[in-house]
Amino acid sequence: MAVKIIKSKNFVETDFVESLAEVPVEEYKPWPENDKLKIVGKPVSRIDAYEKVSGTASYTTDKFLPNMVYGKILRSPHPNAILKNLNTEKAEKLEGVLKILSFKNCPEISWYYDTSLLFDKNLRYQGDEVACVAAISERIALEALKLIEVEYETLPFVTTASEAMMSESPKVHGWGNILDGKPDTYVRGDVEKGFNEADQIIEEEFNTQVVVHNPTEVHCSLANWDDDKLTIWDSTQAIFSVRDTVAASLKIPSSKVRVIKKFMGGGFGSKLEAGKHTIMAALISRDIGKPVFISVDRKEMNLAVGNRPDSNQKLKIGVKKDGTITALSHISYGSVGAYPDSAGCSWPLKTIYLCPNVKTEEYSVLTNSGRSRAMRAPGHVQGTFALEAIIDDAAEKIGMDPLEFRLKNYAETDQVFNVPYTSKKLKDAYLKGAEIIRWKRRNKTPGSQNSEVKNGIGMATQIWWGGGGPPAYAALKLNRDSSINVFAGSQDLGTGTYTFIAQVAAEVLEIPVEKIKVDIGDTDFPYCPLSGGSMTAPSVAPAIRDAAEQMKGKLISAAAAILNLPEEELMYSQGLVSSIKEKDKKISITEIVSKTRNRELITNGAREKNPDGYATNSFGVQFADVSVDTLTGKVKVNKIAAAYDIGRTLNPKTLYNQIHGGIIQGLGYALFEERLLDRKTGKVLTTNLHSYKIPTIKDAPEIEIAIVSQFDPLNSSIGVKGVGEPAIIPTAAAIGNAVYNAIGKRIRSLPITPDKIIKALYS
């Protein structure tokens, strides 16, 4: 394979990253529309479905090794404290305890951009790590935690971003509470000039809450050493990131670390990095010479492994009477917890609607609470809720239909980077979604129905990246029985990665999916990027195609030698290589393999580079139909219509699975979910799934999905864009706008709970 090295820029959750990547020089003709393909785009059942439903799928929580011991972590009960004294003598004497790791005997390992240590005497939130006990059983480890004697010096703390921004507030870190000491700003055009040109100016303030990932499978790691080599089984979205972080922390070559993850029960962004528990398991395992398994419990999931930050957003929009947006302003702040992260949420405002004059100012504020982490479309869910509300309010102010207003301000190009999109079919999505929901039946005057239960319809727009890119690699091995093994260092989060990989390989080689075995989730396999930012399919699928196309080329070359014919006179079809001129001269894959000296054929594929001078984004819209009981304040979501431009659909079954899941998770964000802190004690009040409310199947609405795109002709040879993030982004905003349409009162904070409805209606 002819290759070249390029610098690749990719968007990963919250950051643009640049890396060197090896990409193929040969360009493949993009596939036609799905109806002309045989396997890709068809509703193929998950190839890993039997393993999951039968209970034979091996999750990290299921892994067991001989002589395995169990680790449990002692965590700070205080939001801000200094660890004055730690006495582990009683715990060490408990029969079955093998090791206790703490700041007293742990190497000084910097953590998370050097802002903390693996064990830090400065404990900055309830849940910060104090010690880790390893014992022959989990029960004994938990008993030992109770025997550890700890003396804390409690300190003043801050729990909200507004408090933390005050000059006299306690400092979470010595350098202050605002990340970088200043806001992150963006300016386009002249905002003041734009507001002066407006006929109407609307200013509003919105608030969104902290929510927790809470995937089904908790965070867990199993570490085991074999001489100087370390193997880690980890519930992670990023096997290579875990490998490299562990290697750097332990100061060993990354070639000495192997990370394995076959199946996982969700992550939503919280598992995009190595956890402290992973490093602890590796350290203790090395010290005691036994495998060490550490799993956090549900309370720890709600304290210490990440959350979506809250937001306070002040938006201002200027519009003309004809509906033209003249200016947009966005000032926001959000609490990112005890360690640095981003609370930025202005990207939708910068990009979705045509506007020459934009200014944003965003503060990421540290508080004495658990650190935020990337969570399914970080920033976009918060920002879209506020933006889409003020867009509706601006349309109402000038007497224009909200859908018409959005179409009036449709942006054809990326306004931040000033480049065209590789594809954009948002207009088609608007029209299709409006048709499904029957948009024209919405209340022309919000809240005008004369009934106790009022109905309303609302909409919201979505933009995301999701174009993927290099580096991403894959290997194909053709066996003597003509079956195929595919190896790729990607991860399946439950989204169907195993299946689409098999489909792409089967499409190229024109063989049944059943003849393809997919092996992923292992750093011994070719490198693939982390599974976040909706970039798995767009990154990995083209690499699979490249490897499969090369395999097809190898088969043609081998057949040419066997049949004694020039390669250019041969064609490949349905697992056979045959002469174009002499139809009786043909040979199957099985025959080719049996007649060659090679017992197997191997190819290595790579993902091609993204096109220069373009932005790749996904687009979509959701329409919500809701009922609001004005006596109880309860909101019922009756139906969501979702229309998306996500390039090519690789598999409609798994695509719809993702969109359904995203919508239901978005519904939880809109109506139920909220991490609650006691402002007097700084402690989390919602530490389990009884007090932290998530949607159940009873809350799930009717969902109707329309995909308006066939493929993205420029982004890659596959033409697929990711859908994991787009599925959740507009849900809360659409529900919020529908609630307003029903009751005529704007709820400007999430979640939209009954008490807020009642207060808005009757106060």
pLDDT at 616: 97
What's the CA gap between 544 and 548, in Å, rounded?
6
Q: Is 592 contained in some domain?
A: yes
Q: Are 264 and 30 in contact (CB under 8 A)?
A: no
Q: Are 352 and 461 in contact (CB under 8 A)?
A: yes
Looking at the structure, tell me whether residues 705 and 628 fall in a common domain.
Answer: yes
Taking residues 287-315, report their average pLDDT: 98
Taking residues 392-420, report their average pLDDT: 98
Looking at the structure, tell me whether residues 485 and 564 fall in a common domain.
Answer: yes
Residue 435 φ then ψ, to 5°: -65, -45
What's the CA gap between 147 and 78, in Å, rounded?
18
Residue 251 has pLDDT above 60, yes or no: yes
* Cα–Cα–Cα angle for 202, 203, 204, rounded to 5 degrees: 120
pLDDT at 722: 97
Q: What tokens appear for 491 in the block?
A: 């991860």
Q: Are 635 and 739 in contact (CB under 8 A)?
A: yes
Tokens 């809109």, located at residue: 670
Looking at the structure, tell me whether residues 480 and 573 fall in a common domain.
Answer: yes
- Kindly state the greatest CA–CA separation across the chain: 88
Closest CA to 519 of 533, 534, 505, 538: 505
Q: What tokens appear for 185 in the block?
A: 């700003």
Please report, as a single letter, which amino acid is at residue 156.
P
* Final residue before a domain boundary, out of 266, 295, 324: 295
pTM, 2 dp: 0.96
Q: What tokens appear for 85 in the block?
A: 């004294």
Looking at the structure, tell me whether residues 281 and 418 fall in a common domain.
Answer: no
> Which tens digit of pLDDT belongs to each residue from 668-685?
999 999 999 999 999 999
Looking at the structure, tell me whether residues 351 and 372 fall in a common domain.
Answer: yes
Q: Is 754 contained in some domain?
A: yes
Taking residues 595-623, report their average pLDDT: 92
Q: Domain of residue 19: give its range.
A: 3-60+469-606
3-state SS class at 605: strand
What's the CA gap between 264 and 237, in Å, rounded?
9
Identify how many contiguous H helices and E strands the chain contains and give both numbers: 18, 34
pLDDT at 22: 78
pLDDT at 597: 72
Looking at the structure, tell me whether residues 316 and 441 fall in a common domain.
Answer: yes
Residue 697 φ then ψ, to 5°: -60, -25
> Which tens digit of pLDDT belongs to each residue from 184-201?
999 999 999 999 999 999
Q: What tokens appear for 534 in the block?
A: 């909706």
Please report, as a single letter, which amino acid is at residue 438.
R
What's the CA gap between 575 and 588, in Å, rounded?
6
Taking residues 221-234, report their average pLDDT: 98
Q: Where are the beta strands (DSSP E) in 25-80?
A: 69-75
List beta partners, residue 472.
none
> Which tens digit of pLDDT belongs to each residue from 432-453?
999 999 999 999 999 999 999 9
For the chain, the average pLDDT equals 95
> Which tens digit of pLDDT belongs to each residue from 365-384?
999 999 999 999 999 999 99
What's the CA gap between 325 and 356, in Å, rounded?
8
Looking at the structure, tell me whether residues 517 and 595 fall in a common domain.
Answer: yes
Q: Is 207 contained in some domain?
A: no
Residue 652 φ then ψ, to 5°: -60, -30
Q: Are 342 and 364 in contact (CB under 8 A)?
A: yes
> Which tens digit of pLDDT belongs to each residue from 343-352?
999 999 999 9
> Which tens digit of pLDDT belongs to each residue from 114-153?
667 899 999 999 999 999 999 999 999 999 999 999 999 9
Cβ–Cβ contacts within 10 Å for residue 70, how many? 22
Tokens 């999951």, located at residue: 52
What's the CA gap between 226 and 256, in Å, rounded?
10
What's the CA gap between 313 and 330, in Å, rounded?
7
Looking at the structure, tell me whether residues 82 and 24 fall in a common domain.
Answer: no
Helix axes 497-509, 536-563, angle to 10 degrees: 30
For the chain, how many structural domains are there in total?
3
Taking residues 736-761, report their average pLDDT: 98
Looking at the structure, tell me whether residues 537 and 403 fall in a common domain.
Answer: no
- 706 Cβ contact partners less than 8 Å away, ≥ 6 residues apart: 429, 432, 433, 436, 641, 642, 643, 644
CB-side exposure of 563: number of CA atoms within 13 Å? 28
Residue 491 has pLDDT above 80, yes or no: yes
pLDDT at 27: 82
**Which 8-state DSSP code applies to residue 89?**
H
Taking residues 155-179, report their average pLDDT: 96
Give the DSSP H or E segment for 301. Answer: helix 298-303
Dihedral sign of CA atoms 170, 332, 751, 657 in order: negative
Tokens 């954009």, located at residue: 424
Q: What tokens appear for 741 in the block?
A: 């349409």
**Which 8-state DSSP code applies to residue 255?**
G
* Final residue before a domain boundary, out of 295, 316, 343: 295
pLDDT at 114: 62
Q: Is 204 contained in some domain?
A: no
**Which 8-state DSSP code applies to residue 421?**
B
* Final residue before a domain boundary, out of 554, 574, 606: 606
Q: Is 535 contained in some domain?
A: yes
Looking at the structure, tell me whether residues 43 and 70 fall in a common domain.
Answer: no
Measure CA 281 to chain center: 26
3-state SS class at 431: helix
Helix axes 276-288, 239-250, angle to 10 degrees: 50
Closest CA to 540 of 508, 484, 496, 501: 501
CATH number at residue 553: 3.30.365.10
Percentage of the chain modeled with pLDDT above 70: 96
Looking at the structure, tell me whether residues 50 and 78 fall in a common domain.
Answer: no
Residue 13 has pLDDT above 60, yes or no: no
Percentage of the chain modeled with pLDDT above 90: 93
Q: Is 562 contained in some domain?
A: yes
Q: What tokens appear for 752 in the block?
A: 């939209």
Looking at the structure, tell me whether residues 69 and 53 fall in a common domain.
Answer: no
CB-side exposure of 686: number of CA atoms within 13 Å? 19
Residue 341 has pLDDT above 70, yes or no: yes
* Cα–Cα–Cα angle for 679, 735, 305, rounded to 5 degrees: 40
pLDDT at 489: 98
pLDDT band (50, 70, 90) for residue 598? low
Q: Is 443 contained in some domain?
A: yes
pLDDT at 284: 98
3-state SS class at 153: strand
pLDDT at 551: 96
What's the CA gap between 760 and 719, in Å, rounded?
46
Cβ–Cβ contacts within 10 Å for residue 525, how many? 19
Q: Is 36 contained in some domain?
A: yes
Measure CA 542 to chain center: 20
